Structures are given as C-alpha cells and as structure tokens.
Amino acid sequence: MIEIARREIRIKRGSKRVGLIALISLILSVLLFYKLVTNGIAIDKGIYSTNVPVDYRPFKISENPDIIIYRNAVYVRGDLKGYSAFDEFRSYLKMEYNRWIYEKFGERAFPVLVKLIKVPTKPVKVEIGSERVVKPTSVTKPVEREGKEVVRTVKENVNVTVGKPLEKVVEVKRSEYITPDALKPPILFEKFFYAFIFVMPLYFIAQTFSSSFMEDKVRGRFEVLLTVLSNRDLILGKMTPYLILGFFVSFAISILFHSIVMVCLLLSILLLMLSLDAFVVFLSRSYKEMSFISIVVTLLITAYLFIPAVFSFVPMSGLSPVTVLINIMEGEKVGIYLPLSIIHVSLISLTLLYLTSNSFEFMHHRGLTDKLIQLTSKLTDRYYKVFVFTIASIPFVLLFEIFALAVLYPIRSYVFPVLMSLAIVEEFFKGLFVYSSRDRLNPYISAFLSAFAFFLGEKLILIPLIPLRLTVLFVLPLLAHVTATTVFVLTMRWGFKLGVLTSSTFHAIYNGVMLWLLSL
Amino acid sequence: MASLVIAKKDLKSLFREKTVVLTLLLLVALSSLSQIVATGLVFLYNPSFEFKARIGLVGNAPIFERVANPMRFENLSSALNGLRKGYVDAVVVLNENPKGVNYVEVYVPKEEVKSIRVIPYLKRVFEEYQTVLRELNGIPVLNVRSYDTEGRPISVPEGISLKFRFIYVVLIPTVVVLCGIIVGIYTIDVLYEELKTSEVLLTSVGVKDVVIGKIVAVFTVSLMLTLVWILGFVANGVNVSIASVFPSLTFCILSSSIAMMVFGFSESREQAHLIYSLLFIPLILSFLTFTPSPLSLSVRLSLGILDDCLTFAIAFGVVDLIMLTTSCLIVKGRITKSL
C-alpha cells in the first residue's frame, strides 16, 4: 500500500509545468477573490432599467424601463423584473436616505437601535448549587392604557429556577446595536459562499484522483498491480497521497478558524468525494463516460451537501458536514451533529469503497447494469447479505428519487409518470439483489427479505411518530413491497429489465390507488 | 465531408454511452431543483411573509406599545420564561425616551427556524416605531409610493428581488459555467481518444479534417446543452430569452478553445484535466469580477436586455474566433507531432 502511495506521489511530482501553472493560478485566484470580496460580483450591472439616472450598479437608463420615477412616485411594470427593480430601488433609496438624515441630524436621525440577543428556548438544565424553586408566580397584571386600549397580558403560573438570574444562566450571543433596517433573519448565503470556497480545493484533489485512477484502469495497470497487491491495498494506496494533501488543506483552513474539528469534517467530505470518484471509475467504460458521470455525481453530491446548509434551521440539516462546518464558522455549538455528520458521510464512503474494492474483476465489463449485477452477485451469497445490502442501498435510492423528482418537476401534474419513475428506482435496487443471487439462493426468500429490508429501512423513521394501535397501517405497504418483488421474481426469467418494468408497474399502480384513496 | 464523418462518429459514440443523456437530465434537474430552492428561500426569508409574532415587553414604552401591541411583563426573568414556554415569540426590553436614542434589547429564540419567522416581523415593527419617533422629532420621513402603469397604488413585497436575483444572477451563470466545464472536459477527452488512433486515421483523412470534425462535434454538444438548459428553465416557468443561446455558446467555445490549447501543451490526459481546472478557476473569478464578460452577457441576454449587448456580443465573438483559430493550429501541431 505504501509503495503504491509513493508511486502516486512520484508521478504527480514529476511535472514542473503543472506546479508553475498551479502557483500562477493560486496567485491570480487570491487577487481576484480579494477584488471580488471588496467590490462585489459585477455581473448584475445594468439588469434593471429606469427613466432617470440612478447611481447604483444594477440600474441603467432605458427607453422601456422596468420602473418609471416621476416626482415622488414610482410606476412599476407588473412583472417579476419590475417588482424586483422596485424592491432594489426602494432599498437603495433607504440607504441614501439614511446617509442624508445622518449628515443632517446626526445620531438623532436613528432614534431606535436594536441589539439582538439569542436565547435557547428549548428546556435548559440549570445546575446551580443552592437552587430553589419558587412557585407559582404571577407574571404580570392587566394594564389599562389611555384611550381605553387594553394591552394584552399574560397571567400564568411559572416555575422559576432561582440561584442566578436566568438571563445570566442561559447562553447568550450578543451582537452590536443596529438600526431596524439592518435586522435580517439568519440568511446563510455569505457563510454558504465561504464554505463553498473552502470545499472547492477538495473538488480539485478528487478530480486529480479520478483522472489518475481512470488512467490506471484504461492502461490496464490494475491487472498488473493486482498480481502482487490485494484490492484493498491498491485502492487505499492510491487514495493515501490525496488524503494527505487534503489533510494539509483542511489543517490550514482549521487554523484559520481556530477549530481543529474542521479537519475531520473536511476530510470526511474528501473521503466521500474520493470514494464516489473511485466508484464512478468502476462504472465508466471510457474516459469520456467517466467525465460525464463524474460531473453529474459531483453536482448531485454538492446539492446533497450544500442544500441542507441553506435550510440549516431544519434539525436534520445538521447531518450534512457543510451545515456543521458553517455553524463552526459562526462560532455556534454543533453538539451531536458533529459525530453524526462525520459518521453518516463516512459510512456512505466506506460502502462505496467496499463496492469498488470488490469490483476490479468487472471493471471492463460492458454495460452499467451488467456491471452492477456482476458486482452484487459476488457480494450476495447469503440471505442475510441480501437483507443488509438492500437496507444499505436506501440512501442511494433516496438520492436517485430526489434526482428523478427534480427532473420530472415540470410535469408534476401528470401523476403516473412521476409514480412510475419513483417505482422504477425502488424496484431496480430491490430486484438487483434478488436477481444477482438467483443462482445460489431461493429467489422467493430473497425477494421477501429484500422487500422486508426495504420496507423496514423506509418506514423505520415513521415508527416513533405513529401510535402503536395504528401500526397495522404498515401491513399494506409491506404486502405491496412483497408482492412487487414476487412479481419481479416471476418475470425476471425474461430478463432483469423486464422484471423491473413489471414490478415497477405494479408498484406505481399501488401508489396511485393509495393516493387516490387518500384524496377521497 | 470527412470532417463531418468524424464529428458524426464522435457524437454517435457519445449517445451510445448514454451518459450525455444523464448530463442533459442533470441540467433539467438543476433548473427544477433551483426553482424549488428559490421558492423555499422566498417563502422563508421574505419579510412580507404573513406572520404575526407575539412580542413581550419589559419596561416603560407607551409609544412602542401603541405600535406593537405587546404583552407586558414585570421583569426580564418572567419574560424570558414566557419566551421559553412559547407565550411570546420575542422579548423587548425598552425604557422609552421619545426625544433621544432608544437602545432596545431584543431577546429572540436561538433556534433558527423560530428566529427566521420572528425577525422579519420585528423588523417591520421597529421600522414603524422608528418612523413614529422620527415624525415626533421633526425628522423627514421617507415614503416611497408605488403605482402600476395604470396609476393604481400597489404594494410590492419587500425582498421579492431575492428570487429574481437567485435565478438570473446566480443560477443562470452557474448553468452556463457548468456547460462550459462539460464541453471543455469533453474536448480534452475526444482529442486524446483520437490521438490513440490518429496514425491509422490520418492515412485516409487530413489533420485539418480531424480538427474541424472535433470542432463540429464540440459545437453540436454545446448547442444541445444550451438548448436543454433553456428549455429546462422555460418548463419550470422561468422567462429566459432565446438570446441567451449566444453567451452560452460563446462561453462553451471559449472553454473548448482553452481545452484545445491545454491539449496541445500537456503530456497526458490526466495532466490536461488538471491544467484545464487550474486555468478555469481564475478565469471564472475574472468573469465575475470584471464586466462586460460572457457571464454578465448571459445574465443580461437571458433577461432579454439587448440594447447595448450587440457590441459586446460581436467583441466576444471575435475573441472566440481568434482563440478557436489559434487552438486549432496548436491541436494540428500536436497531432502532427505525435505521428
């Protein structure tokens, strides 16, 4: 393994030309990035139009303007562009107005300055030596105000834990006083941008790895190396230099943010990228194919990692290492989500690495489905493995289903094609393990195990949410899964694809009927 | 004619592998996913989103009470308990000074899902409060009135430009860059593939035919990708002008020309991929920093802003032509050298 790693470093160190280009690229990128941060992105210049000059980059004069400014009013064209132009013009005016009144009236122009203090509203454990509980306490009394306006009041029994004043016990994050205009919800765009900048070097490391791995495959080096090395040693040896390089990059970033745990997060992301790229190389028949699949997979994984960070207030979004990374950059506590995000991403990576290390002998087989059948056939020689691999495939099924839903979003009103596509994704994975083990295992037992595993993995998350007496509702989906895989077994003798098609048709019809019944 | 046969062969192999179909589906998926994200962003972050937060007040603030109609608490401890128990969504600590500056402490839930709903409401309340105090102190108040083209008063939601910017300033340039990357990498791959068989191929066709064949194939792929992303957006209800075909193609040709030059100077395919990536980063950053650039052109043309774009379009077309001609000569030299 160490020899392979050394060889990889020797090959990559060879070219001075690449080193020089990398250095120039780095210097240029840093300079341009600095300009970008200080001046902002310039591509929005002149996207809106007005009838009079406005000294603001997005606006320009046009004969057919989005907004017409006339005396003290603004006339807006009634489309999204017109409304957006007005919205930004209004923000610009506010900015200018604030500057003007500050010059004229000084601090008096801003009679309200706000300081936001964030307090956790989930129950907090207060551990203080001499605490005592005062109860019940009347919080307020109704207050009658001038003009017979009654201010709403709360009269509640509240248990107050005394020992230290509560406001000193709860963890507070204080910010400076700001004007009301500057109050903003916690939008993560800026943090999101910086996170992307920090993750970007990892993409390039992964890309270099995949090119090198593919080159080995295309030139038939694997066959030679595997005569003296085990599959595992070969793949780990190839990955080691890239992981070391990734470690240095991650370490530099973590020093910048004074957080050593960032190394673990960034390395888990890199491991995911490397294992995905290794699997992509296995799937691809040519360099060209690898490039295309790699782009698709990279974008999918970017969406998988980054979209949760946009909606970081959703608790499950903490499963993405990027969300945790952003929270660390913000100085927030990440708690259980730090190990959870690293473990879940590492598990996906290890599954992919396991699959790839078992795939060398099928590397040159033609056809994606054939390759997958050969690979799963090697792995599913016991009933329990059919069960385990079906459960392990669920995250991938969900990923493909999201992709399918996104592709079909424009035709979402046509329910059956959408249901059919989702059913094909599920039945493909369920059927794969049944079909590939058919020569060694009883297909009907495999079908039941595959259906049960899928049902279990899929519904496990719902069990805590549904009362015990209603668990009978699960019988129907289980029956549907079992019937669909049985349909697959009955029809797979005419080929894997036909089996998937028939079982998917049954699955889609079942889902359609259920949807129809629910809508009644 | 020979070059057309070579282009046809390349495109056939691309479709045989079916991976290009996956890429095309990806572009459609990207436009749909982004629409979903854009809608989600507007729904969550729009300050005009209807949500009435319950505000708790600690202190003496009669004007604020008239504006915000809060619940009053006797002290901060009980107000914070009220916040924790969900009786109020925010706690304001304020002892009002109508003639001076009011320093207000606002306690909001730390959990972002709650604060996202509360903060836009607080913003509106405090802006209104600020206006009342300014009027009281004789400070002129900004009042921007909006009307439709018929002269009827309209209310334009605050923050509506977020969605617009996300689609036209973030998403469309991203898709254009993505198409450029795909085409660039495809160019390197087809050229290196041809290099393996060039000795045999060049017995029946000239180097010039091979190069032109590759350019035709690359141009066809670029056009296909461009049309698909435009159709993807249109299918998702986004207005994209057909004029945006031009900057997308310009960018693809530029990316392809750079890839061809890299092919000319690289030793292996993996090295070419690496050099291409290294060149691409500062290129994109410069297109984002300086204007006019093919990316700023893509934003403006996708919005149908044609007025002063023609000059830039011609300029970029000429740059593309020079780059393409130079890169063709470099490729020709590399293929000849390899024989």
What is the Cα–Cα distance from A124 to A117, expressed in whole angstroms? 17
- Owning domain of residue B94: 55-136
CA distance A519 to chain B (A): 24
Closest CA to B188 of A280, A286, A16: A286
Decide: residue A4, CB within 10 A, 0-12 exposed, 13-18 middle, 19+ buried: buried
Mean pLDDT, chain B, rounded, equals 84
For residue B116, the chain A residues in CB contact (below 8 A) are 185-186, 313
Interface of A with B in 95-124 (CB under 8 A): 97, 101, 105, 107-123
Q: Which residues of chain B are within 8 Å of residue A117 when distances are taken between CB atoms?
A: 105-108
Same domain, B19 and B96: no
Give contacts of B76 with chain A, Cβ < 8 Å.
165-167
Of A74, A108, A160, the CB nearest to B137: A108
Tell me phi and psi for residue B108, to 5 degrees: -125, 160
What pLDDT does A39 receive?
80
Same domain, yes or no: B111 and B231:
no
Chain A nearest CA to B153, separation (Å): 9
Tokens, residue B7: 């282009």
Instruction: Look at residue A127 in the predicted model and tell me its pLDDT.
Output: 40
A158 and B85 within 8 Å at the Cβ level: the answer is yes
Residues 198-227 of B with CB under 8 A from A: none
Q: Which residue does chain B place closest to A12, by CA atoms? A: B271
Which residue is listed with tokens 């660039």?
B184
Q: Which residue has the higher pLDDT, A282 or B105?
A: B105
Highest-confidence range of B46-60, B199-213, B313-327, by mean pLDDT?
Answer: B313-327
Q: Are residues B253 and B303 in the same domain?
A: yes
- Higher pLDDT pick, B90 / A203: B90
Contact B57, B87 (CB under 8 A): no
By Cβ distance, the residue of A140, A184, A292 closest to B20 is A292
B115 touching A (Cβ < 8 Å): yes
The verdict on a CB contact (< 8 Å) between A407 and B106 is no
* Helix extents (H) in A358-414: 368-379, 383-392, 394-408
- Do B213 and B101 lie in one domain? The reply is no
Size of interface A-B (CB pairs under 8 A): 376
Same domain, B216 and B314: yes
Domains of chain B: total:
2
The shortest CB-CB distance from A286 to any of B17, B115, B265 is to B17
pLDDT in tens, B250-281: 999 999 999 999 998 888 887 888 888 888 88
Residues B145, B153 contacting (CB under 8 angstroms): yes
User: What part of B 241-260 touches A (C-beta under 8 Å)?
Assistant: none
Residue A120: its pLDDT value, please? 76
- Are the CB atoms for A141 and A130 separated by under 8 Å? no
Q: Supply the pLDDT for residue A472.
A: 63
Measured CA distances, B206 to B212, B335, B336 (Å): 10, 11, 10
The Cα of A321 is separated from the nearest Cα of chain B by a number of Å equal to: 18
Chain A CB contacts of B279 below 8 Å: 21, 25
Would an 8 Å CB–CB cutoff place A34 in contact with chain B? no
**Across the interface, do B291 and A75 touch by the CB < 8 Å criterion?**
no
Asked if A32 lies within 8 A of B70 by C-beta distance, the reply is no
For residue B110, give the nearest of A81, A119, A407 by CB distance.
A119
Q: What is the pLDDT of residue A148?
A: 35
Is B16 touching A (CB cutoff 8 A)?
Answer: no
Q: Answer yes or no: do B236 and A409 touch at CB < 8 A.
A: yes
- Residue A169: closest CA among B311, B76, B293: B76
When CB atoms are compared, the residue of A112, A215, A289 closest to B17 is A289
**Is B77 in contact with A167 (Cβ distance < 8 A)?**
yes
Structure-token pair, residue A159:
């248990």
Whether A184 contacts chain B with CB within 8 A: yes
Same-domain pairing of B126 and B197: no
Instruction: Answer whether residue B337 shows pLDDT above 60.
Output: yes
Helix locations, A219-286, DSSP H: 221-225, 231-256, 261-283
Provide the pLDDT confidence category of residue B232 given band limits of 50, 70 and 90. confident
% pLDDT > 70, chain B: 91
Closest Cα partner for A295 from B50, B225, B5? B225
* B109 to A120: CB separation less than 8 angstroms, yes or no: yes
Q: Write down how long chain B is.
A: 339
Please report the pLDDT score of residue A231 as a whole number.
83
Q: Could you tell me the residue ranges of all domains in chain A?
A: 2-42, 45-109, 117-139+153-174, 186-359, 365-520
CB-CB neighbors (< 8 A) of B9 in chain A = none
Let me know whether B191 and B319 are in one domain: yes
Locate tokens 């919800």: which residue?
A185
Residue B40 has pLDDT above 90, yes or no: no
Axis-axis angle for helices A443-459, A475-491 (nearest 10):
140
Contact A28 B282 (CB under 8 A): yes
Q: Is residue B190 part of a domain?
A: yes
Which one of A29, A46, A154 has the shortest CB-CB distance to B87? Answer: A154
Phi-psi region of B159 (alpha: psi -120 to 50; beta: other; left: phi over 0): left
* Phi, psi (rounded to 5 degrees) for A150: -95, 125
Q: Same structural domain for residues B216 and B305? A: yes
Q: Decide the pairing of beta strands B90-93 and B102-109.
A: antiparallel
Nearest to B123 among A105, A153, A180 (CB): A180
Q: Which chain A residues are within 8 Å of B111, Cβ to Cβ?
A: 120-122, 313
If you count them, how many residues does chain A have? 520
State the distance between the two ends of chain B, measured CA to CA, in whole angstroms.
Answer: 23
Interface probe with A: pick from B39, B55, B130, B301, most Cβ of A within 10 Å: B130
> Which of residues B73, B102, B136 is at a domain's end?
B136
Q: How far is B91 from chain A (nearest CA, A)?
A: 10
Would you give per-residue pLDDT tens digits along chain A (520 residues)?
677 677 766 666 656 777 788 888 888 888 888 888 788 788 888 899 999 988 888 999 988 899 999 887 899 988 888 999 999 999 899 889 989 999 998 888 899 999 888 887 755 444 434 333 333 333 343 333 333 333 333 333 333 333 333 343 334 444 478 888 877 766 555 666 667 777 777 887 888 888 888 888 878 887 788 888 888 888 888 888 889 888 988 888 888 777 788 888 889 999 999 998 888 888 887 777 787 788 778 777 777 777 777 666 666 677 788 888 877 877 777 777 888 888 888 888 888 888 888 887 777 766 778 888 888 888 888 899 889 888 888 878 887 887 788 778 777 778 888 899 999 999 999 999 999 888 888 999 999 999 998 888 777 655 555 666 666 667 888 888 999 999 999 999 898 999 999 999 999 999 899 888 877 7
B149 within a domain of the structure (yes/no): no
Residues of A in contact with B148 (CB under 8 A): 75-76, 78
- Minimum-distance CB partner of B71 among A28, A152, A312: A152
More confident residue, B339 or A215: A215
Task: Tell whether the model's pLDDT for residue B58 goes beyond 90.
Answer: yes
CA distance A141 to chain B (A): 8
Q: What is the mean pLDDT of residues B105-118?
A: 77
Contacts of A145 in chain B (CB under 8 A): 62, 65
Q: Does A381 touch chain B (CB under 8 A)?
A: no
d(CA A240, CA A255): 22
- Do residue B44 and residue A97 have CB atoms under 8 angstroms apart? no
CA distance A131 to chain B (A): 15
Cβ–Cβ contact B166 with A under 8 A: no
